[in-house]
Amino acid sequence: MSYKKRIASLVLVDSLIVILSIFLSYFILLPAGSPFTNVIIVSSIVLFLSHHLFAHMYKLYKRVWQYASIGELTGIFKAVTFSVLLTAVAQFILIQDVYFRTLAVTWMMHILLIGGSRFSWRLYRDTYIKPKLGGKRTLIIGAGSAGTMVARQLRNSNEADLDPIGFIDDDKNKCHLEILDLPVLGNIKEIEKLVNEYSIEHIIIAIPSLGRQAMNEIIAQCTKTKVKTQVLPKMEDLITGDVEVNQFRDVEVEDLLGREPVELDIEGIADYITSKTILVTGAGGSIGSEVCRQIARFSPKELVLLGHGENSIYAIEMELRRNLPDLHISTEIADIQDREKIFTIMATRKPHVIFHAAAHKHVPLMERNPEEAVKNNVLGTKNVAEAASAANVNTFVMISTDKAVNPTSVMGSTKRIAEMIVQHMDMISETRFVAVRFGNVLGSRGSVIPLFKDQIKNGGPVTVTDPEMVRYFMTIPEASRLVLQAGSLAQGGEVFVLDMGEPVKIVDLARNLIRLSGYTEEEIPIVFTGMRPGEKMFEELLGKDEVHDEQVYPKIYRGKTPVVDINVMYELAETFEQETKESLRKRLLDIANFRVKQLRALSRVK
């Protein structure tokens, strides 16, 4: 039915109901009286006009009545009540008397007939028109507003393949009651029992504001059942409109490892990003691209995406242009090892802030190719830092790693040396240079989680180096937000360290992923392969001589790193290509771990 025909039909139905309700009320009270007295005629005209006035005000003709609920009933109540009150005022003015009993009966008849005409459509639709779901028997965890919304949406969607059976909630006041004709079956601890008892085939966790610890407890109960479990999108995504309530997602390991989000100092970040030119190196990488997304929220004057891989730069450029069409974006395809090109870009773009995310990060690969790690992580950083200083950049933020602490690998050593270069540049330049360290990020390229997922997809086994190996983990968005926050705190020369929470055993991570994928360890076994070259059993965020106990901001610490001899690093830049892979590995470790005197003694012997 077209919009105009629908409005006309509702107006006609309401007009008949208004006239019928007032005549019926007089007939009930005065069955022998004449139906065409002045009182009835005046009351009918006033009630007729006032009803349509208030029906328009409360949008009774614009509501979708097949989904009618409390909100629609409230609108009917207000429209009818105010129209009857206006009729009473008209009786008093025109007739000098108010027929309270008649108006009370009219009000009741009016409510019943208007409400009945609207809600009967929903009743008819739910009973006869809407096909029975016949989908997977679904248990909804959370009987609050979000859970109720999910249940209503599943029932009202003809395309849904999920049939809600009941709710789970720890609120004792809701237990054994019904919501939308669905029972609250029990509490969280009873999930496994209820799944078996009611033959549940699907679980939806519908508590978007749930804390991490509580989420862990619920997911732990759900994984015992081997039933596919999905979750409602996060509250922040619902609020921003990035996703809708019916866009359920699979439970990911991030749900188990993430922490409570920290509130950012929006004004502090905006002060140094909004209306400024910002340049990001490595903008196509997993960290660099997320830094770009976070920066874009603060409306920079220009966002310059610099990277070596054209495909990854193109992908983040297209994403940002699609989501933020008003954002001024520029792209630069360049290798940070190309010193002349980097200096030209800095002089041309004149960025206010640089986020330096470009680096080689894969530990085993860099062990086999130490010269490439030096070229990219050391010389590349030196090029970008010196170009930033020459272009009078205000703030330079280098993204580092926990592997730079007491490094045992080529990758960690080159990142520590890059930190030294940044600290030295802060001492001799007007630009503020800082570094930000954090551990592993979930889902980044080369991280263990995509590897585990591929192994599970291929039927296993899942390979773990050592049963005691632990790592710190953080989500990419959280790490990127805290990098921006650290940049706002920069005074120059600091090495900021992000609070990574509690370390996680890699074998526990593997077990969780296997369970979340619906398998057991008997089906997907875990195999221990032994530690690879350059790997540590555990990572550190600060060395013993670097620790400041107080946080400069929630989840951000400031490290106190020792003074370094920059000449040793510059000697490295000039002579590293003359060394063998093995001697270069040793030299990098010596420099990064401050064994400089030993290194020079060895040089003199040679």
Asked about 606 being catalytic, the answer comes back as no
- Please give the share of the chain, as a percent, with pLDDT higher than 90: 24
Which pLDDT belongs to residue 128? Answer: 55
**What's the CA gap between 191 and 169, in Å, rounded?**
10
| Fold assignment, 136-251 | Rossmann fold (3.40.50)
**φ, ψ at 164 (rounded to 5°):** -65, 130
SS3 readout for 142-182: CCCHHHHHHHHHHHHCCCCCEEEEEEECCCCCCCCCEECCE
The pLDDT of residue 606 is 32
By three-state DSSP, how is residue 313 classified?
A: helix
State the average pLDDT over residues 492-505: 78
What are 132-180's pLDDT values in tens digits?
445 788 999 988 888 888 887 787 665 557 888 889 988 888 877 878 7
CB atoms under 10 Å from CB of 539, counted, come to 21
What CATH number has the domain spanning 266-592?
Answer: 3.40.50.720
The confidence band for 539, taking pLDDT boundaries of 50, 70 and 90, is low
Overall average pLDDT of the 76-100 stretch: 82
CB neighbour burial string for 17-33, b if at least 16 within 10 angstroms, e if fewer: bbeebbbebbeeeeeee
In this prediction, residue 549 has a pLDDT band, given cuts at 50, 70 and 90, of low
Q: Residue 322: what pLDDT?
A: 93
**pLDDT (0 to 100) of residue 263:** 67
pLDDT band at 121 (very low <50, low <70, confident <90, very high): low
Amino acid letter at 308? H
Confidence of residue 413 (pLDDT cuts 50, 70, 90): very high
Q: What is the pLDDT of residue 241?
A: 46
Active-site option among 361, 382, 403, 536: 403
Q: What is the reported pTM? A: 0.65
Least confident of 263-272, 469-478, 568-577: 469-478
Q: Evaluate if residue 197 carries a pLDDT over 70.
A: yes
Q: Judge whether 136-251 and 266-592 match in fold.
A: yes
- Lowest mean pLDDT, pick from 64-73, 270-279, 432-441, 481-490: 64-73
pLDDT tens-digit readout, 216-228: 788 878 877 878 8
Residue 239 pLDDT exceeds 50: no
Task: Check residue 408 and give its pLDDT.
Answer: 86
Percent of all residues in the chain with a pLDDT value above 70, rounded to a whole number = 80
Mean pLDDT of the chain: 80
∠ CA 170-171-177 to the nearest 5 degrees? Answer: 110
Domain edges within the chain: 3-129, 136-251, 266-592
